[in-house]
Structure 1
């Protein structure tokens, strides 16, 4: 319980807002407030000053915050030592990935990595960006692979690939003869999107604003947490979508869909890996990071089918 309260305290302190912290941690605002109150009662002093603009650390809270990160790291170090003492000394690597990366990129990377290091046991969690952020904060994963970026000074974010969001339509759609589409044309069609909290949606929303179009201006008729579900609905002729080019490469080759770039400016986004300051599984993390930083190899792996990926040298 104390560990969870410390994690909640850390996120509230960094976001300076109960509502934002609740969204990141997938908790209700009352639950966040209750945990903070319980922690303050335990410590015996007020840790936050509340106002209509949000919350800020008291002097005592600032001192407490300086130690909390070390405490969280020590707790997870204790977890690792206990697992080792229990006979689980085999190398482990816990990876979290957002849906697009988890479905279309990570399997190829893992297949190659396993060929090189079969002794390392890999565990993977696939979820949206908000959930991966939560897992990183709680240090239940070693590396997060996300679409876009995460704004947290306690996390290190580094790009390993660049993706493009493209307009995807059925192959025989009226736009099928185009290679690029003016952004204003999107107002004329029913739009199928990823759910709120996904990296794809966040990047799209920011890009549209830069092009002078608000996401609320679109005729969004359906939202899904599954890219495959979106593709099925588009294939059925129920609308068009804007999703990762990685997810439709093969479908376009098979002439199921046609992909179009935005005419005014292609919507590009980084695919990044995110690390905490925890030293858990440091050797295994570094080996996987070395793979991610090998841009030429990553490009080859992404472009090939999982069954015939590049063999380790």
Structure 2
């Protein structure tokens, strides 16, 4: 079958090694070599230069490779649409998100979409930025939602959908609770509860403080915890203050427990971005989700609600 030949060609072009491709595709090396030879005969061109180290694409091979990728994408898209019909018109979106987004943004968005578009299903993966980006590149995920810096790649489309602010969060019983903002210089005087070393939020916070002239070493870090949820519990018990994403204290229940202060002389922002693969077109249902993420007013509304209130947003 022609599609099989194209898949073999694409894999060899990417691995640059017939032995590797044979293992990956569970085929014999002679069989792979034969399929490539058939393609070369059919198009009257040599697609690979063969050396002891492996194979590399010729100029003709590079042209053919670009077209093969497009053809295989079209065939994959056709299969997905046919499968959707077979499943009774249900759309399926493979969605990836990083931790803060997965915990604090996604549940409300999905609850809203299940209510307004019950014919769309989601498969969700929560992982770090690197893993989500890789899966979008390999087309295992249709859409990735990530926080912080984005890896640059020609096949990654990046669209910012939210500016997340890192804010100082403290309990209402705190002496600063009547204020709206604090200065950076005041931070080292308070007991600070943070995420563990190596966490994305911690990294963004420390980099931002350094850029603004405050050495993170001067902070009085009394506790390091592995989740934002744990930090919020410790802060609500009056054991310290924290610097976390404003999104994580966005809901009304949290607003009754905590006071959020801005850092007045140097607000700290980080972008939240949508990743898609530049080589594929989005389906109608995927565009629906992306458009919702870009609708700032509706998104603000959805994120500030409790689940029980989402019904009123239709």
Normalised TM-score (structure 2): 0.68
Deviation of 1:114 after TM superposition, in Å, equals 2.3
What do residues 144-198 of structure 1 show as CA deviations (whole Å, max 9, x unaligned)? 1222331313311212222221111232223334322221222233332234554
- Number of the residue aligned with 1:13: none
> 1:196, 1:143 → 2: CA distance?
28
SS at match of 1:309: helix
* Unpaired runs of at least 5, structure 2: 1-6, 30-49
1:243 to 2:241 alignment: no
1:92 to 2:92 alignment: yes
Deviation of 1:303 after TM superposition, in Å, equals 2.5
- Number of the residue aligned with 2:295: 294
Written as runs of structure 1 = structure 2, the 5 A alignment for 1:164-313 is: 164-195=165-196, 198-249=199-250, 250-254=252-256, 256-279=257-280, 282-309=283-310, 311=312
> 2:259, 2:71 → 1: CA distance?
48
CA contact (8 A) 1:148 1:203 kept: yes
> 2:184, 2:265 → 1: CA distance?
7
1:143 to 2:147 alignment: no
- Number of the residue aligned with 2:32: none
> 1:225, 1:83 → 2: CA distance?
41
CA contact (8 A) 1:77 1:280 kept: no
> 2:137, 2:231 → 1: CA distance?
30
Written as runs of structure 1 = structure 2, the 5 A alignment for 1:23-172 is: 74=72, 78=76, 81=79, 90-153=90-153, 154-172=155-173
Deviation of 1:230 after TM superposition, in Å, equals 1.2
**Given the superposition, is the C-alpha separation of residues 170 and 156 from structure 1 closer, same or farther in structure 2, using an over 3 Å criterion?**
same
CA contact (8 A) 1:129 1:197 kept: no
> 2:254, 2:202 → 1: CA distance?
22
Q: How many residues in Structure 1 have an aligned counterpart in Structure 2? A: 268
> 1:230, 1:73 → 2: CA distance?
50
What do residues 198-257 of structure 1 show as CA deviations (whole Å, max 9, x unaligned)? 442343233212211233443434433421111112233443211112212335532x22
CA contact (8 A) 2:133 2:151 kept: no
SS at match of 2:107: helix
**Greater Rg over alpha carbons, structure:** 2
> 2:183, 2:113 → 1: CA distance?
41
What do residues 26-68 of structure 1 show as CA deviations (whole Å, max 9, x unaligned)? xxxxxxxxx9xx99xx986669xxxxxxxxxxx9699999959
**Given the superposition, is the C-alpha separation of residues 145 and 225 from structure 1 closer, same or farther in structure 2, using an over 3 Å criterion?**
farther
* Unpaired runs of at least 5, structure 1: 11-34, 48-58
> 1:139, 1:218 → 2: CA distance?
42
> 2:52, 2:206 → 1: CA distance?
41
> 2:58, 2:311 → 1: CA distance?
50
**Given the superposition, is the C-alpha separation of residues 151 and 82 from structure 1 closer, same or farther in structure 2, using an over 3 Å criterion?**
closer
> 1:233, 1:246 → 2: CA distance?
18
> 1:65, 1:205 → 2: CA distance?
44
Deviation of 1:305 after TM superposition, in Å, equals 2.3
**Given the superposition, is the C-alpha separation of residues 147 and 281 from structure 1 closer, same or farther in structure 2, using an over 3 Å criterion?**
same
Normalised TM-score (structure 1): 0.68
Stretches of 4+ moved more than 6 A in 1? 61-66
SS at match of 1:173: coil
